[in-house]
Each structure stands twice: as structure tokens, then as C-alpha cells.
Amino acid sequence: MGKVVLVTGVARQLGGRFVRRIQRDPQVDRVIAVDAVPPEHHLGGADFIQADIRQPTIARVLAETAADTVVHLDVTAMALGSGSRTTVKETNVIGTMQLLGACQKSPTVKRLVVKSSTNVYGSAPRDPAVFTETTPPKSLPSGGFAKDAVEVEGYVRGFARRRPDVAVCVLRFANILGPSADTPLASYFSLPVLPTVFGYDPRLQFVHEDDVIEVLRIASHEPERGTLNSGTFNIAGDGVLLLSQCSRRLGRPTVPLLLPAVTWAGSLVRTLGVTDFSPEQIRLLTHGRVVSTDQMRETLGFQPKYTTAETFADFARVRGPGLLPPEALAGAVDRIAALPALGGGHPPTQSAN
Amino acid sequence: MADAKVIPFDDDRSRGAAVQRPARRRGAGSRRKESSLVREVREVQPLPGRASAQDDVPVTREEQPPPEAPQDQGGIERRIAGGLSFLRRRLTGDYDVDDFGYDEELTDQVLMSLLRPVYEKYFRVEVKGIENIPAEGGALIVANHSGTLPLDGLMMQVAVHDNHPAGRHLRLLAADLVFMLPVVNELARKLGHTLACAEDAERLLGQGELVGVMPEGFKGIGKPFSERYKLQRFGRGGFVSTALRRGAPIIPCSIVGAEEIYPMIGNAKTLARLLGFPYFPLTPTFPWLGPLGAIPLPTKWTIQFGEPIHTDGYPPEAAEDPMLMFNLTDQVREQIQHTLYKLLVQRRSVFF
């Protein structure tokens, strides 16, 4: 008898992709996809159950399906469609509490995987340059998604204490990017002109969607020999990109603004509801955040396919060039180099014909 | 600095030796002999690091490569092509930074070139004992801190990079204030500096980097002019336990000349508190002359790297032993202070 996997948050691209992927694994018998709204994308052969995880019905779903693996992906920063921030927060926090309550009651659940975020570390100038899983944050996130993630992790820790027989894996993802990512950072990078904070060049780390799916799959199965997949792990691609590098690679010009102006503009944009440019987002774009992925490699046994730079290149390829495409700039420099006055290049020879 | 309190030395011979020796430094054989001699001397010394003869060899001027003279057209062409390819990489974002945000290319090509005139022409830094810095592997350079603005750290960074045969890069540990200020934090990260905390220091040492730390912190850099060249308390000695945990040698470093660049005769404490700074310096020229007063005095600097103190012989639990930590901290502190006094005695004038 194979596994029964219950996945929450499948109406999102990431959840949908994960559901389609995990069905192909031979040890999986049945996949139950749960979300409050029906997904627009197809879910392969998975059984979709429309249930709001903020309601106690999720306990009945869990009991009826006798799921043994629960993958909780409904911890997100942005509302799907036109939901408000309040709905997102409720889904994140109340939804997690309900789901964990249901799991605690269920005798069949053996494994719980929770999607969290490196946002839980916050970003402050007094933080060490590289966060490990055990680094306590110097300043706890005061609100927004980061605070949700901190609270979600707190409830998950409580659950792990009460049900020591359940293997619990918390995956703290760095900024997820990829062709179909719908994260706040992805929408930020889609702006034609990137507002930045004057005098700060944050270090950013990205993780590719494909790697996210892969690591979720590793976490929801039995661990391979010599690895352990319960615990808390930072998940990020290798290397670091500075925001200035990102904007240049994307070909989108930046507009440096003073920090108070950015905070003010962020709250204005948020009030208008254009994009969720939350305070913790501004903090990330001011101080940056880099996490150590040693545990991911050594304990979880996962090697990401994409580095931070490759992830970003893949993202940039799909988004298309901005106002100042890097190729055009490179071409301009090459043309200057070819100017005979500088003696750089030699005039093209016609002898070939 | 005629009025500095100078403690007497019993080993003034080293000064005489320094005068004779400089020209012989390049001979590898003689150097090896020297170092073995030094080791013998060191073993019987009651006070660690007291004036080993080798310390006094000036290396600054000798190491200079012959000035590049691109008279031919090819040299200029190559430089233009190099500059353009640099520009191309910068404009398209096609360069790498490490986890700490250290931008090696920008540091080497631009930031170092901006600091070098200050280092060579303005402060005329003389570097001694560069051979005490290992060619590879992690090491912790511990230096005194002075001068109101942390120019000493930057000069030490240039000194290590330009004088060390392996061209090693120094990764400085900076105060959190540096990372709160706009622009400053960006430049500091790109220069390879990071926050002075045990996590970052250990990570850098683990990567085999050369880490520079100034444990006096604000107490050292913001001390009044009357207390110049008096080492302040070395924090809680956290740098020793970090070095012990990584088994990295500690290299004491004494910087002479930085104390006089901004003689701090007063401290506007209220203004400092308002601005959120640890101190607000009042010098004979600043802030009375406005921005002109912020120009440092052109003192003559000497940076001396001392004999490394090895930490790999201790058991792993030694990092938790407070007694050993205090002893090692004192040993490092004393070595730096002694070298400071010795360099001050040798100094002819503050400005020459």
C-alpha cells in the first residue's frame, strides 16, 4: 500500500506543479489536493477537494482520506487574485493552526512538510552576514508575511513536541523565482523601473521553482540513506546577487530613493493596492539576507540544480528585457571598443569575399 | 611624539640591526636563517613577541614593481581594452560577489586605486613584518584602532594587499554603525568588510580568509588625543575564542601615525547622542573649518605585523576556558603595546 499525500494551497502555480510532480513517484498511491478555491490549472490525476483550511472541515478531509503525508504549501506572502492581506494572514496563521490540529487528531499522519521562508530571520544591519538555521533574529519581523512565517513555525514546533512520532520538516525557502513565480519579489522585478533605497545594495539569494518542487519531494518521502529529512532547513541557490547586479542583468534601471521616501511610497502603493510592497519587503531590499545552506547539502542531501545567478537568468529570460537590455549596453561598449580612434578594434577585413 | 610615555627596552640592538639589514631582505636563505634564529630567541623570552629582530625589516619600498611604462601603442591599447571590458562587465552585471557581498573586481580595480594614493603619497605608509602573514589559510590580524575615522583599517587593507607576496585580501570586521549608514555600508560590503560578530569571523576564517579586527572598537578610535597610543580594553576577548575555535594564528599589528590624523581635543556628547554616533569629534580644525577641517593631517604611518601567536596547539574546549582567553588577550595586547612604544621611539617626527 503506497502513500496518500495531502497537499494544501494547490490553487497556486507552485502547489499545482508539486501535485502533478509527486503523482509520478511510484511510492505515491493517491494525492489529495486541497484549496479554498478551485485551481485554474489541471492537477493531473489528483483528487481535488475544495476545503478552506481555516475551517474545521479540514479535519474531516484528513480523517476520511487517511492521508499519511501532509504537505502544507498554503503559507504565502501574496493573495491569490484579489484577496486582501487579512485573508492571507488568516490562511497562513489560522489555516496552519486548523491543519495542525487536524494532524494531531489523525492517527494516520506520519510526515508533515511545511513551506516557510527565510523571512523569519528578518533583515537588520546588526545581523550576521550569513544566517544559519540556528541564528536567532536580532529584530523579529514586526508584521506582514514574515511575522506569519514566524508564527507558523512556532505552531509547527508545538505540534512536533506534541506528536514526536510525526516527522516534521520545515523548509525555509529563500526568494522563489522562476518562470511562473508569483512572489512579491517577482512582481517587484517586473516593474519597469526599480525603486531602490539610496546608499544600500542588498545581497539577495534566489531559489528556482524546479528546485523547490524537488526539495519538497525529497522532504515528503522517506529519507535516503545517510540523510535526514526532518528538522528545519534553509533552501537557497548557491551564490549571491546584489540588487544592482539584478537590475543590470534584467536591464531595468533603478531609481535610488532615500529610505524615508521609500517607506512612504511603499505605504502609498500598499494603500492603493497596486502591489504588496510591505515593510519587510523594504527591509529586505535595504539590508538583504543571505542564508547558509550547509544543512540542506549535508543533512537533507539536496543539491540545487540552479545557482542564484542561474535562477535569476531563467527568470530574466521569461520576463524579457527591460528598458536597458544588457545586450544593448554590451553592444554599445563593443562599438566604442571598435572605434578606430581608440585603436581598440581592427576594421573588419573584406578579404573573405 | 616626544611626550609619549616610553618604557625602557633591554633589546635596543634590534634597532641597530634594522639599519644594517634592509638591503638583504630578498635573499631567501638569509631570511630562513633569520626566522630560525628568531624562533630560538622567542622560546626563551619571558615576554612574548618582544622585539624579534625580524620585525624591523622595512619592505614597503622594495616590493614595488618597476613602474609600468606603456610607451608603446600596444600598452595603451591593452589598457583601454581592459577598461572597456571591465565597463562591459559592470554595466551588464556580469561579475561575482561572495556571500558577504565582497566584490573583488571592484575592490581591485577601483576602490583600491582610490585608496592607494592616500596610502602611498599622503600617509606614506611603511610596512614591516609582512612575512608574518601566512601565504594561505585563515589568520586573524589584531590591530590597534585610532584616528577618529577608521582610516587605519582601510590603510591596513591596502598594506596587506599591496605588500604581501600572495596579494592576500584582508577582510575587516567593522562595527554595526558602518552597516547602518547609507553608502558607507554599501562600500564596506563591497570592500569585503563584514559585521564584527563571532559568526561572521568564524565563517571567514573557516573559508581560509585573512580577517582583520580592531578589538578596541569605539573606545580606541574615539579616545581623546591626550590618550594616544594607550591601548584600550580589548572588548571581551571574543576574537581569541574565535581564533581558537578555528585554530587560526593571531597576528598582532601595530599602527603608528593614525592617532595624529585628527587630534580629538573634545567630544560633543550631546550632538553625538542626537545623531546616534558613539562620539562627535572636535579637533583643532573640525568642525570650525567646515569640510576643510575634515582633511586628515598628513602624518607618516608605520604598520608593523608582529610574530603570529599560534592557536592550533590548544584542545577544542580551550575556546570555552575564560582564563586562557584572558591570558591570550593580554598577550596580544601587550605585544601590540610594546611594538607601538618601540615604533614611537624609532619615529623621527610625526610628519616625516
- The full DSSP string for B175-217 is -HHHHHSTTHHHHHHHTT-EE-SHHHHHHHHHTT-EEEE-TTT
Up-side HSE of residue A328: CA atoms within 13 Å toward CB? 9
Instruction: Tell me how close the Cα of A344 comes to any Cα of chain B, in angstroms.
Output: 6
| Chain A residues with a Cβ under 8 Å from any Cβ in chain B | 125-130, 132, 135, 197-201, 203, 239-242, 244-249, 259, 287-288, 290, 292, 326-327, 329-330, 333-334, 336-337, 342-344
Which residues are bridge partners to A241 per DSSP?
A204
Residue A106 is given by DSSP the state: -
Phi first, then psi: give them for residue B282, nearest 5 degrees: -120, 115
H helix runs in chain A, sequence order = 13-23, 57-65, 85-105, 144-162, 184-189, 209-220, 243-250, 259-272, 279-287, 294-298, 308-319, 326-338
Q: Best residue in B102, B107, B186 to probe A by mutation, most A CBs within 10 Å?
A: B186
For B83, nearest residue in chain A (alpha carbons): A337
Minimal Cβ distance to B84: which of A125, A203, A337: A337
Amino acid at position B77, single letter: E
C-alpha cell at B156: 591596513
Taking a C-beta distance cutoff of 8 angstroms, is the pair A35, A74 a contact? yes
CB-CB under 8 Å, B95 with A129 = no
pLDDT of residue A145: 85
What is the distance, to the nearest Å, from the Cα of residue B161 to the centroid of all Cα atoms in its chain?
11
**Chain A residues touching B95 at Cβ < 8 A:** 245
CB-CB under 8 Å, B93 with A129 = no
**A112-144 burial: b if 16+ Cβ within 10 Å, else e:** bbbbbbbbbbbbbbebbbbbebeeebeeebeeb
**A32-65 burial: b if 16+ Cβ within 10 Å, else e:** bbbbbeebeeebeebebbebbbbeebbbebbeeb
C-alpha cell at B205: 576564517
Residue A239: count of CB within 10 angstroms of its CB:
19
> Between the CA of residue A3 and those of A35, A58, A69, A143, A247, what are the distances in Å?
20, 19, 7, 37, 44
H helix runs in chain B, sequence order = 13-20, 28-44, 73-91, 104-106, 112-117, 151-163, 176-180, 184-190, 198-206, 218-221, 238-246, 269-275, 322-346
Taking a C-beta distance cutoff of 8 angstroms, is the pair A245, B97 a contact? yes
pLDDT of residue B44: 43
Question: DSSP secondary structure string, B89-148?
Answer: HHHTT---B-TT---HHHIIIIIHHHHHHIIIIIS--EEE-GGGS-SSS-EEEEE---SS
For B176, nearest residue in chain A (alpha carbons): A126
The CA distance from B2 to B347, in Å, is: 9
Residue A240 is given by DSSP the state: B
**Chain B residues touching A337 at Cβ < 8 A:** 80-81, 84-85
Minimal Cβ distance to A333: which of B87, B98, B189: B87
CB-CB under 8 Å, B181 with A343 = no
Minimal Cβ distance to B200: which of A129, A239, A259: A129
Q: Best residue in B85, B86, B94, B99 to probe A by mutation, most A CBs within 10 Å?
A: B99
Taking a C-beta distance cutoff of 8 angstroms, is the pair A204, A241 a contact? yes
Q: Which of A313, A160, A188 has the alpha carbon at shortest distance from A249? A: A313
Q: Best residue in B80, B85, B88 to probe A by mutation, most A CBs within 10 Å?
A: B88
Q: Which of B47, B45, B58 has the alpha carbon at shortest distance from B17? A: B58
The CA distance from A132 to A291, in Å, is: 6
Phi first, then psi: give them for residue A238, nearest 5 degrees: -65, 150
The CA distance from A77 to A263, in Å, is: 19
Instruction: Tell me how close the Cα of A132 comes to any Cα of chain B, in angstroms.
Output: 9
**A85-95 burial: b if 16+ Cβ within 10 Å, else e:** beebbbbbbeb
pLDDT of residue A341: 63
**Chain A residues touching B73 at Cβ < 8 A:** 343
What is the distance, to the nearest Å, from the Cα of residue B61 to the centroid of all Cα atoms in its chain?
18
Taking a C-beta distance cutoff of 8 angstroms, is the pair A162, A250 a contact? no
- Its pTM stands at 0.83
Minimal Cβ distance to B99: which of A127, A244, A290: A290
Minimal Cβ distance to A128: which of B91, B180, B199: B199
Q: Best residue in A118, A121, A123, A130 to probe B by mutation, most B CBs within 10 Å?
A: A130
H helix runs in A221-293, sequence order = 243-250, 259-272, 279-287
Residue A318: count of CB within 10 angstroms of its CB:
11
The CA distance from A232 to B149, in Å, is: 42
Amino acid at position B199, single letter: E
CB-CB under 8 Å, B179 with A125 = yes
Q: Best residue in A196, A240, A246, A335 to probe B by mutation, most B CBs within 10 Å?
A: A240
**Chain B residues touching A342 at Cβ < 8 A:** 77, 80
Q: At what angle do helices B13-20 and B322-346 cross, to 10 degrees?
A: 60
Q: Assess: ipTM above 0.90.
A: no
| Backbone torsion region of residue B77, taken as left when φ is above 0, otherwise alpha when ψ lies between -120 and 50, otherwise beta | alpha
For B193, nearest residue in chain A (alpha carbons): A129
CB-CB under 8 Å, B203 with A129 = yes
Query: Number of CB pairs < 8 Å for A and B?
Result: 111
Question: Cα(first)–Cα(last) distance of chain B, in Å?
Answer: 12
Cell 519581523, located at residue: A141
pLDDT of residue A269: 73
List of domains in chain B: 13-18+47-62+97-261+296-346 (3.40.1130)
pLDDT of chain B, 352 residues: tens digit per residue:
445 555 555 444 444 444 444 444 444 444 444 444 444 444 444 444 443 444 444 444 444 444 444 456 678 888 888 888 898 889 888 899 999 999 999 999 999 999 999 999 999 999 999 999 999 999 999 999 999 999 999 999 999 999 999 999 999 999 999 999 999 999 999 999 999 999 999 999 999 999 999 999 999 999 999 999 999 988 888 899 999 999 999 999 999 999 999 999 999 999 999 988 999 999 998 888 888 888 999 999 999 999 999 998 898 888 888 899 999 999 999 999 999 999 999 999 999 8
pLDDT of residue A267: 77
Rg (CA), chain B: 21
Which residues are bridge partners to A3 per DSSP?
A28
Mean pLDDT per 10-residue interval, chain A, length 353 residues: 88 92 92 92 90 92 93 86 80 94 93 94 89 85 84 95 94 91 85 89 94 94 89 94 93 88 78 69 89 94 94 89 82 82 47 36
Amino acid at position A98, single letter: Q
CB-CB under 8 Å, B195 with A126 = yes
CB-CB under 8 Å, A343 with B80 = yes
For A135, nearest residue in chain B (alpha carbons): B199
pLDDT of residue B71: 53
